[in-house]
Each structure stands twice: as C-alpha cells, then as structure tokens.
C-alpha cells in the first residue's frame, strides 16, 4: 500500500524484481494447499460441465435474463456503494467523532452476518407490514419486496462493507500528511479532498469497488429472502443456479461457469487498470 | 523470531490442529453409550410429523437414536445417489424416489403411505375474499407460488392447467415454506401451499380449498424406502413399519396429510 507515494520508480521495481527465492519453505506448503482448496473445486466444475450443450444452456431465455439482471443490479449497487461508502470510509478514517469504533463495527456487520439474516432484516423493515414499508405503501403505493430495487438494496447492504474496509485501509496507510501540506498551501478542505486525498487512495477505491461488485454479483441469501425470485425481475444468476440445481444440474453447472467467467473478467480487467492507474 | 512470537505461532498451529481434529471426530463422543443410530433423510414437509414420531420411537426403544436429515426431496435423493450415509429415504414425490431407485440405492419396493394437497393460504379472515384460483389473477391480489422446477411448483402448474388460469405471482419461491412465510409476514395476499403447511402455521394463515387441488399431478405422494447397504437394515424396517403403522397414521392425519 506504500505505492501511493508519488511516482518514484522504486516501489514498482521492488514489486516485480525480488519476491520468489526469499520465501522460506514453510510458506509454500500451506500456500499450495490453500490455492488447491480454491482452484480444485472450480476445476471440478469444468470437468462436470456438459460441454456439447454448454452454449444452448447459457443462452436460454432464463439464463440471459438472469445474466442481464445480475450485471445491471451489480453495477447499480456498486455505484450506490461508491456514492455512500466513500464518504462513510472518509468519516471512519479521518473524523474524530466519539464512539467511532462502535460505528465501524456496525458498518462491518454485514460481513459477519449470514446474508439471509440481512435479507430478513430488510424484509422486516421494508416489507409491506414493516414500519417503513407500511408508510411507503400507504403514502406512495410503493411495495419494495419482489422488485428489482429490492435486489439492488440487498446487494448494496452486503457489498458496502467491502468498499468501506478497503478504502478506510488505504486512507489510513496514506496518512494525512499531504492534506496537511495542501491546507498550508491554502487549499480548502473540499479542494484537498478532491485534488489530494482521492487521487492518493484511488487504487484502494478501485479495488474496493471491484470487491463490492464481485460480492454483489454472487449475492444470494439476502436477495432470495428479501426480493424473492422471478425471472427478469429478481432472479439473478445465483438464484437461477440454485433453482436449477434442484432439477437441472447441467444447467446449474453451465451457469456457474458463466458466473466464474464474468468474475474472472472483472478481476483481471480491473487489476491491469489498477496497476496502470497508480501513476 | 522472538520467543513470544514463536509461542503465538505454536498456539495458532495447535488451534488449527484441534479444530481439524474436532471436525473429524464429532462422531466419537456419540459412541459413548452403547446405542444404535438410524439416519433418516426426509422431505422438509415431514419436519413436524417425523419429529413427533422420532420422540415416540426412541421412547419405545431406548438405546436407539433417530437422526433426522430434512431437505428438499430432490436434494436428498441426489445426496443418496452420491453415496450419502443414510438408512431411510422419505420423499415427497414419486419422481424423486425413482431417482434413487434407478441408481440402485433403494432396497426392495418403496411404500406410498400418504398424500398432500394444495390449498390457498390467505391472511386470517380472508380480507381479499379469495374463493379459488381465478380470484388470484390480476394486480389487485398479489400471490406467491413455488417455482415450477420444484415439486410444489409442478403441482401448482398442474392445478393452473386444470383450472384454465395462468397466475401472475410476484415471486416463485424455492420451497413451499418460503411461500408460506410470504403470507404469514403479510408481504403477499395469497400463496399456494400444502394443507399441512396451513395446519403448521397455527392460525397465522387460513386455508382455502379449491377443486383443482385433486387434479392429475397436483396432489403429492409420500414414499418411504430403505437405502441399499444400510448397516441398520432391521432398524430401518421397523422405522418404516412405525411410520406406515397406526401411530404414524395418527401423526400424519393430525398434520393434515391424507392416508394412502
């Protein structure tokens, strides 16, 4: 994370150069086991796939609807995470509000909470008989559950902490020296935030957004509990995969691979942009 | 590496080792009293009935433990096909039992012993005055049903065909209990569930009968069979006789099942 220091060539050369031979052997064995634990099941998915029918399985009506919905809701909730999570991370990292540790642990709650619990809490709050849902229904005739908006809310709920944690870490590592310098040079707090703070933590912001998007893309429990499951409206890829796993395993496997591909594209795509964006 | 750090590392390693040992050996402590354990994989809709029958069975035969594993019939049948250690399989559909049979995992002929029917679950007092499937159609009534891929959803489709209506649900749930929950929490006006689900909701919902519930493919059959290669074949047989016998009949009827 020290690579946020302005453009000296040193950190980058140390990143590509040294590594490898310096690692002691006790690191390698568990590292290989850990890698295998993640990679082998995915490889198993590849072996189990019904390749001759793969294309027709992932281009069925239900699959395309689910893919479109997943991308659409995932991007929307990532945008919402950026909109609300960035200021939240700034407050957590930079302000001196009393009781900040308590606020932080509340913000991190969705990380430890089973997603289905998150979905139920949203349902109890925003459902038709919930305290807020009741008012929305009476005043505006709005029913939140079973709508695409409900999917976005559920995804934002579970994904937001990923962005906040990532960005808060970047902000703390960067420190506030540059902002102090900017202030002595006459920059207003807003200018310092815009021209100094945010550019310095941009890599942290990007990786936080990627994590949030990935989490939103894989979201299942909160969505199924809060938004329900209906093709084209609320049935995202993970929901369709679980449904298909009940009676059409070939389709479930093919769709799982589709989700893996989307996730890999996102991770690889933003990794390269992340690295070039350090400047 | 300082001594303190080394000690922390050793502690971590020990903790991981203990954790792994605990995962592997969870069966160990249960072997302490000399007892026999029968593992029954049963459809989720049997949760209440089998729970009650388990207590009766264990009281009548001390030293026996019935371990109940509830889930969707498809999932349970798949697990048994994949070699999951179970002694008895009790499904909520003929199709799922056939899946296990065709894989050679069921000993002898399974027994069909009960049936279940769909009902329209509504809020107590029936505020939307629902009388049958046609009254669910349209935007003034919101309803939730099972997805067609799962057994209760297939039953719903069969009933729709028989009634000549197409429902417009706001959500197609993964299992029937989720449909029930949508009604009990007041998030939909109606849901298509089984008579047994309405019975289990203890007055939180009211059940409305409709004629197409008995249509071809709409009613659900309950089958039970012993799993091939069970270590407890005789115990499996006595559980099956118990469930299909007089005491089972009482518990099933109380829960709203029809006897076969």
| Chain A residues lying within 8 Å of B178, measured CB to CB | 224
Q: What is the dihedral of CA B182, B183, B187, B191, to 10 degrees?
A: 80
Q: Which of A149, A230, A232, A234 to mutate to test the interface with B (most CBs of B within 10 A)?
A: A230
Tell me: pLDDT of A10 over 50: no
Question: Is residue A275 in some structural domain?
Answer: no
Tell me: pLDDT of B28 over 80: no
DSSP 8-state code for residue B217: T
Check which CATH number belongs to the domain holding A207 and give it. Answer: 1.10.3720.10
Which sign does the torsion angle of CA A221, A225, A228, A234 carry? negative
Question: Is residue A144 in some structural domain?
Answer: yes
For the segment A12-32, the average pLDDT, to the nearest whole number, is: 70
Count CB neighbours of A12 within 10 A: 14
Average pLDDT taken over every residue of chain A: 88
Q: Which of the pair, A142 or A226, is modelled with greater confidence?
A: A226
> How far is Cα A97 from Cα B86, in angstroms, rounded to an integer?
57
Q: How many domains does chain A have?
A: 1
Predicted confidence band of residue A246 (pLDDT cuts 50, 70, 90): confident
- Domain B36-115+221-259 belongs to what architecture? 3-Layer(aba) Sandwich (3.40)
Please name the member of B78, B171, B187 whose beta carbon is closest to the beta carbon of A229: B171
Residue written as token pair 């479930």:
A252
Domain ranges of chain B: 36-115+221-259, 118-214
Q: Looking at residue B13, what is its pLDDT?
A: 52
Q: Is the ipTM of this complex over 0.90?
A: no
How do residues B143-191 score in pLDDT, each as one tens digit? Answer: 999 999 888 899 999 999 999 999 999 999 988 889 999 999 999 999 9
| Chain B residues lying within 8 Å of A131, measured CB to CB | none
Predicted confidence band of residue A15 (pLDDT cuts 50, 70, 90): very low
Nearest CA in chain B to A242: B174
Q: Looking at residue A1, what is its pLDDT?
A: 41
Token output for B40: 């029954």
Predicted confidence band of residue B12 (pLDDT cuts 50, 70, 90): low
Nearest CA in chain A to B78: A246
Token output for A230: 């209906």
In sequence order, which residues have a C-beta less than 8 Å from that of residue A39 and are 6 or more positions away? none
Question: Is residue A60 in some structural domain?
Answer: no
For the segment A183-194, the average pLDDT, to the nearest whole number, is: 91
How do residues B117-146 score in pLDDT, each as one tens digit? Answer: 999 999 999 999 999 999 999 999 999 999
Strand pairing class (B190-194; B36-43): unpaired
Predicted confidence band of residue A22 (pLDDT cuts 50, 70, 90): confident
Q: Looking at residue A259, what is its pLDDT?
A: 93
What single string gives the DSSP state of each residue in A25-82? HHHHHHHHHHHHHHHHHHHHHHHHS-GGGHHHHHTSHHHHHHHHHHHHHHHHHHHHHH
Question: Is residue A152 in some structural domain?
Answer: yes
Q: Which of B79, B99, B149, B204 to mutate to test the interface with A (most CBs of A within 10 A)?
A: B149
Tell me: pLDDT of B33 over 90: no
Question: Is residue A67 in some structural domain?
Answer: no
> Is B185 in Cβ contact with A229 (below 8 Å)?
no
For the segment A240-244, the average pLDDT, to the nearest whole number, is: 93
> How far is Cα A25 from Cα A33, in angstroms, rounded to an integer?
13
Name the CATH code of domain B118-214 (choices 3.40.190.10, 3.40.640.10, 3.30.565.10, 3.90.170.10). 3.40.190.10
> How far is Cα B240 from Cα B104, in angstroms, rounded to an integer?
19
Question: Is residue A21 in some structural domain?
Answer: no
Give how far B58 is from chain A: nearest CA, Å: 33
> How far is Cα B260 from Cα B239, in angstroms, rounded to an integer?
18
Give how far B151 is from chain A: nearest CA, Å: 10
Predicted confidence band of residue B35 (pLDDT cuts 50, 70, 90): confident
Q: Percent of chain B beyond pLDDT 90? A: 69
Q: Percent of chain A beyond pLDDT 90? A: 74
Least confident among A5-19, B93-107, B196-210: A5-19
| Chain A residues lying within 8 Å of B170, measured CB to CB | 145-146, 228, 230
Q: Looking at residue A164, what is its pLDDT?
A: 97
User: How many CA atoms within 13 Å lie on the side-chain side of A185?
Assistant: 11
In sequence order, which residues have a C-beta less than 8 Å from that of residue B90 and are 6 or more positions away? B40, B41, B42, B43, B46, B50, B222, B223, B224, B225, B243
| Chain A residues lying within 8 Å of B173, measured CB to CB | 228-229
Question: Is residue A255 in some structural domain?
Answer: no
Q: How many CB pairs under 8 A join A and B?
A: 56
Least confident among A21-25, A119-123, B31-35, B69-73: B31-35
Nearest CA in chain B to A144: B187
pTM higher than 0.80 for the full model?
A: no
Token output for A6: 């302005």
> Is B149 in Cβ contact with A146 (below 8 Å)?
no
Q: Looking at residue A21, what is its pLDDT?
A: 66
Range(s) of the domain holding residue A138: 72-235
């Amino acid at each position: 994370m020290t690579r946020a220091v302005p453009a000296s060539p040193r950190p980058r050369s140390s990143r590509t150069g040294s590594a490898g031979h310096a690692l002691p052997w006790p690191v390698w064995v568990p590292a290989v086991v850990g890698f295998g634990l993640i990679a082998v099941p995915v490889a198993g998915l590849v072996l189990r796939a019904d390749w001759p029918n793969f294309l027709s399985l992932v281009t069925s009506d239900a699959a395309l609807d689910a893919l479109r919905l997943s991308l659409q809701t995932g991007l929307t909730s990532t945008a919402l995470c950026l909109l609300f999570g960035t200021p939240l991370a700034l407050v957590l990292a930079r302000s001196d509000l009393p009781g900040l540790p308590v606020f932080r642990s509340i913000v991190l709650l969705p990380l430890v909470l089973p997603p289905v619990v998150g979905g139920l809490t949203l349902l109890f709050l925003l459902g038709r008989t919930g305290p807020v849902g009741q008012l929305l229904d009476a005043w505006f005739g709005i029913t939140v559950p079973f709508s695409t908006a409900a999917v976005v809310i559920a995804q934002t709920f579970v994904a937001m902490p990923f962005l906040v944690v990532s960005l808060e870490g970047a902000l703390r590592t960067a420190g506030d020296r540059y902002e102090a310098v900017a202030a002595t040079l006459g920059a207003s707090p807003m200018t310092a935030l815009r021209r100094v703070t945010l550019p310095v933590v941009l890599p942290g912001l990007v990786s936080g957004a990627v994590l949030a998007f990935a989490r939103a893309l894989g979201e299942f429990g909160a969505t199924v509990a809060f938004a329900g499951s209906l093709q084209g409206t609320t049935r995202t890829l993970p929901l369709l995969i679980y449904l298909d796993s009940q009676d059409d395993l070939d389709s479930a496997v093919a769709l799982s691979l589709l989700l893996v591909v989307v996730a890999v594209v996102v991770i690889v795509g933003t990794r390269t942009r992340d690295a070039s964006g350090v400047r | 590496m300082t001594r303190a750090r080394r000690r922390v590392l050793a502690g971590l390693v020990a903790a991981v080792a203990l954790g792994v040992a605990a995962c592997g050996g969870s069966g160990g402590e249960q072997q302490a009293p000399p007892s026999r354990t029968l593992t029954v994989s049963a459809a989720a809709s049997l949760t209440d009935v089998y729970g009650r029958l388990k207590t009766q069975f264990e009281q009548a035969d001390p030293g026996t433990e019935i371990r109940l594993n509830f889930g969707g019939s498809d999932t349970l049948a798949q697990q048994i096909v994949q070699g999951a250690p179970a002694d008895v399989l009790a499904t909520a559909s003929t199709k799922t039992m056939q899946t296990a049979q065709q894989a050679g995992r069921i000993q002898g002929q399974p027994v069909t012993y009960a049936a279940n029917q769909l009902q329209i679950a509504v809020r107590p007092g029936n505020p939307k005055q629902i009388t049958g499937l046609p009254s669910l159609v349209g935007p003034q009534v919101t309803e939730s049903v099972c997805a067609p891929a799962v057994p209760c959803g297939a039953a719903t489709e069969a009933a729709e065909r028989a009634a000549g209506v197409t429902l417009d649900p706001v959500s197609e749930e993964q299992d029937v209990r989720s449909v029930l929950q949508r009604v009990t929490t007041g998030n939909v006006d109606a849901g298509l569930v089984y008579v047994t689900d309405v019975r289990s909701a203890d007055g939180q919902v009211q059940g409305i009968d409709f004629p197409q519930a008995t249509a071809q493919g709409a009613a659900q059959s309950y089958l039970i069979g012993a799993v091939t290669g069970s270590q407890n074949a005789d115990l499996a047989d006595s559980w099956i006789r118990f469930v299909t016998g007089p005491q089972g009949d009482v518990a099933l009827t109380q829960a709203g099942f029809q006897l076969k």
